[in-house]
Chain A
Amino acid sequence: MSHTVLVCDDAIFMRTMISDILAQAGFEIVGEAETGSQAVEKYRQLKPDLVTMDIVMPDMGGIDAVREIVKQDPDAKILMCSAMGQQALVVEAIQAGAKDFVVKPFQPSRVLEAVQRVLG
């Protein structure tokens, strides 16, 4: 059975791109979220095997979303999607419980490597 993924990003472009990379690699995209609070809500509903999480999103940011999700499920596997220069935010996200990160612009191979590491 393929792993299920929840993709969280406020940009449709980024969501589509990540979804495509993962779908082509055999993952099942079970949901998408545009804001942090949506991500938390959908995580609760869908219980995906993996979450990709943008850092900067309206309403509730990615890092707060990580905190909320990890509170619900300490074993949640969350992959942060960050941009160059967001070092401090990435560190904060990892401290909040994110398991790994990828840096935009995405290279499919690096995204898949990170996903493999997260899923162990």
Chain B
Amino acid sequence: MDLSQYAELFLAESREHLSACNQLLLEWERQPAGLTPVSGLFRAVHTVKGMAATMGYARVTDLAHRMESLLDVLRRGAHPATDELLQLLFRARDALERAVELSVVGRERELEVAEIVADLDHAALRLARAKVGAAAEGPREAGGVTPSVVPPPPEVEAAATGRLVQVTLRPEAPLKAGRALLVLKRAQALGVVLAVTPPQTAFEAEDFEGRFSFRLDSPAAPDEIETALRAAGDVAHLTVGGEEVRGSGLEGLPAAPAEGGRSRHIRVDLRRLDGLMDLIGELATARGRLNQLAAERRDPAIDDVAIQVSRLSSDLQAEIIQARMTPVWQVFDRFPRLVRDLARELGKQVAFRVEGKEIELDRTILDELGDPLLHLLRNAVDHGIEPPAERRRRGKPPEGEIVLTAVRERASVAITVSDDGRGIDRPKILERAKRDGAVDAHAEALTDDQLLRVLARPGFSTAETVTSVSGRGVGIDVAMTRIRALGGTIDIRSEPGKGTAFVLRLPVTLAIVRAIIASVGPERYALPLTYVAETVELGTVTTTVVEGREAIVLRDRVVPLVHLRRLLAVTSDREPARAPIIVLEMGDRRAGVVVDGMLGQQEIVVKGFDAPQGTLPVFSGATIMGDGIPALILDAGGLL
């Protein structure tokens, strides 16, 4: 059987379990007396072990097995978490992760696991002994007797899962213990072996006649199992029973319902979805052309077909976009561990909370989010949260709080990283910005927007004086560039002594968006609806001038105007008197974009766009219109 085709699947699933391990370890750290996290860890590691054994990754299997043994001792002994145990398990988890990654790329032999394996075994043995010691000391006096008996191997489990396998070796087979062990080894290569009866240690006894049984938890079919095990040699009889569900009273039921309909999901390579998305993009373009033709021909038959094709391709588009949606926890789940480790390293106390884990984003966007969020979280721990002593002096609880939240807003998702730390030192930043000429020398304070603009200036952030004194800034420019490239925006709110929040806003999906098509001079431009609040007409609303900028007053709010015609230096024709204004809204910021005309709404396929040098930073991409002529897509973030 060629297993290489399963490697990617193995990797993906193992990563999920390893990520879960991090969460569970953190949970256990918070509730050291809790047993649920340990059971969860046991199951996760157990699953990785079974998969690795099936793949033939011996070292991964071995490492997982040692880890599982220790977890089993902890689980049975209801052992509370200690710092030492947690550190060991975190280390083991990391080693297992490396083992998994290396194995998949065929570099398993580069693994160095001897040390962690020894530590795991040592810990398991010590705990097991302590347990036996404690039990033995009960009735007796606390004598200094070192117990030499280690409890039986953890494999024997009352409610074991898997198929019951019964084996009888040929009566004439020599060294039956060896043969029986070979059968077990072959079984282990197929999955996880449990509840070996009689226990393996009894195989070497004089009266072992070569009859034994065990449970095998394996994805392999019964006949595959039988063939594989019989190949161990000298097997007279072998039966493979039905699958058993964990827990008592359920024996004999099929295993599927326990998994909660898991079989209804399949994994699809992301590249497939990307390919599909490209095709649908082209279909959308073709549909646009068809609609245009239909409109020109005025033939009811063609019209009907055009409408039908439109509807079908819209549905198809919606389905594929939905298929690409991924819950944010897939990226968020690695942060608790990172925040914890960083806080420990820096001597900070941090409670980290994640909210809105189930909010979904396009996979491509989500994949790009990890690094910017990491930058922001790092800054929050490093520069935001004060050391415990300083917090106490300021009358705050010694433990700081960092919250990562995802919230769905119309067609975008807002992701907030907030801390209750010291806030950004505005005077310091202002002073520095003045020196750099980034703001007017007479400015007395920085608004949040100005602050962000200053912080996000490339190079500014890396200036040591700033980062060491007031903190913040590290990587903000990097994060900002990344988010902008995704059509998103960053906002900042900061209050001295109270904390800082960064708000990232991202479109839910990248590839296809609904946009308003506007004209300026001879050109057409697309404005994604994601950030469009409303449209009004110039000349029907009150205009005013605020801080030297032309603005309109809309329901008691002042909205500054951007004349696209002037911005793009279009000189042909004249601006119409009643020019439409497209009002953009992004968080608290608003702006009215004045265009020549509005040509309607349509779905556009966003194509990447490498802006030539010198291009105004107001375009985020390009699209092909129904007539095959390209149009530029305006970037709401850039216009605000």
Q: Which residues of A contact B (CB under 8 A)?
A: 74, 82, 84, 86-88, 90-91, 94-95, 99-101, 103, 113-114, 117, 120
- Give every chain B residue within 8 A of A86 (Cβ-Cβ): 175
Contact A94 B178 (CB under 8 A): yes
Contact A74 B109 (CB under 8 A): yes
Known: A87-B204, A114-B233. 17 other contacts (CB 8 A): A74-B58, A82-B178, A84-B175, A86-B175, A87-B175, A90-B175, A91-B181, A91-B204, A99-B182, A100-B232, A100-B233, A101-B182, A103-B175, A113-B233, A117-B231, A117-B232, A117-B233
Partner of B175, one of A74, A82, A95, A113: A82
Contact B233 A87 (CB under 8 A): no
**Smallest CB-CB A-B distances: 5 pairs:** A90-B178, A103-B174, A74-B58, A94-B181, A87-B175
Contact A101 B178 (CB under 8 A): yes
Which residue of chain B is the closest to A71 with respect to CB atoms? B109
- Give every chain B residue within 8 A of A88 (Cβ-Cβ): 177, 204
Q: Which residues of B contact A (CB under 8 A)?
A: 58-59, 108-109, 174-175, 177-178, 181-182, 185, 203-204, 231-233
CA distance A82 to B179 in the complex (A): 13
CA distance A82 to B624 in the complex (A): 76
Contact B174 A84 (CB under 8 A): yes
- Give every chain A residue within 8 A of B181 (Cβ-Cβ): 91, 94-95
Partner of B182, one of A100, A113, A120: A100
Which residue of chain B is the closest to A104 with respect to CB atoms? B174
Which residue of chain A is the closest to B178 with respect to CB atoms? A90
Contact A87 B59 (CB under 8 A): no
User: Given A74-B109, A95-B181, A117-B231, does the pair A101, B58 have CB atoms closer than 8 Å?
Assistant: no
Between A and B, 18 residue pairs with Cβ closer than 8 Å are A74-B58, A74-B108, A84-B174, A84-B175, A86-B175, A87-B177, A87-B178, A90-B178, A91-B204, A99-B182, A100-B182, A100-B232, A101-B175, A101-B182, A103-B174, A114-B233, A117-B231, A120-B231
Taking the closest CB of chain A, its distance from the CB of B47, in whole angstroms, is 22
Contact B58 A91 (CB under 8 A): no
Taking the closest CB of chain A, its distance from the CB of B366, in whole angstroms, is 37
Which residue of chain B is the closest to A95 with respect to CB atoms? B181
Contact A74 B59 (CB under 8 A): yes
Contact A91 B178 (CB under 8 A): yes
Taking the closest CB of chain B, its distance from the CB of A120, in whole angstroms, is 8
- Give every chain A residue within 8 A of B182 (Cβ-Cβ): 94, 99-101
Taking the closest CB of chain A, its distance from the CB of B202, in whole angstroms, is 12
Contact B233 A91 (CB under 8 A): no
Taking the closest CB of chain B, its distance from the CB of A22, in whole angstroms, is 17
CA distance A82 to B175 in the complex (A): 9
Q: Which residue, of B175, B181, B182, B185, has the highest number of chain A Cβ atoms within 10 A?
A: B175
- Give every chain B residue within 8 A of A84 (Cβ-Cβ): 174-175
- Give every chain B residue within 8 A of A94 (Cβ-Cβ): 178, 181-182, 185
Taking the closest CB of chain B, its distance from the CB of A54, in whole angstroms, is 15
Taking the closest CB of chain A, its distance from the CB of B111, in whole angstroms, is 10
Taking the closest CB of chain A, its distance from the CB of B363, in whole angstroms, is 36
- Give every chain B residue within 8 A of A120 (Cβ-Cβ): 231
CA distance A103 to B182 in the complex (A): 15
- Give every chain A residue within 8 A of B175 (Cβ-Cβ): 82, 84, 86-87, 90, 101, 103
CA distance A100 to B109 in the complex (A): 23
CA distance A95 to B181 in the complex (A): 8
- Give every chain B residue within 8 A of A100 (Cβ-Cβ): 182, 232-233
Contact A91 B174 (CB under 8 A): no
- Give every chain A residue within 8 A of B174 (Cβ-Cβ): 84, 103
